[in-house]
Amino acid sequence: MDSLIQLLDNTVNDLLLQRYDRITSYVIKRIYVLSAKTYIADFILYSAMCTPETDIFYQDINCKDWGTLLNCYTYHEFEDNKKVVKAYKNFYNYVAIGNAMKSKLREDDMAITKMIKHGLYGTYYFLNKKERID
């Protein structure tokens, strides 16, 4: 765990000390992802230490509980993992367009103004990938 914390600390320091005039959204995303990974790792380790020995994950795969579980689910394997990754990236890009458009709208805009802004900002951010992610 100490090595994970040290890795996180070193990475954050490296990102922040790399002659940035301002902290970009990329740096913030990197810090967020590293913090989330650290949190999940800590949560998993803590949960493993507190889990009772009667839990299903401590039991043999051939026991009754595992048999019941294995009969109730289906396993799907995608033929082409690259297509799944591409679909996820496309989805993320459309979410980024929506977030960028929403950030430009104001509550006090009239309905027609909102429609015009939706169309213009939607087109602008669709064509300018770098702008919508920042």
Q: Residues 53, 65: contact at Cβ < 8 Å?
A: no
**How far apart (Å, rounded) are the C-alpha atoms in residues 132 and 76?**
33
Q: What is the pTM of this model?
A: 0.40
Q: Name the amino acid, one letter, at 133.
A: I
**How far apart (Å, rounded) are the C-alpha atoms in residues 127 and 129?**
6
Ranges under pLDDT 50 in the chain: none
Structure tokens given for 24: 């970009």
- Which pLDDT does position 134 carry in this prediction? 57
31-49 tens-digit pLDDT: 888 888 889 998 988 888 8
Structure tokens given for 91: 């989805």
DSSP assignment string, 22-47: S--HHHHHHHHHHHHHHHHHHHHHHH
Eight-state DSSP code of residue 56: G
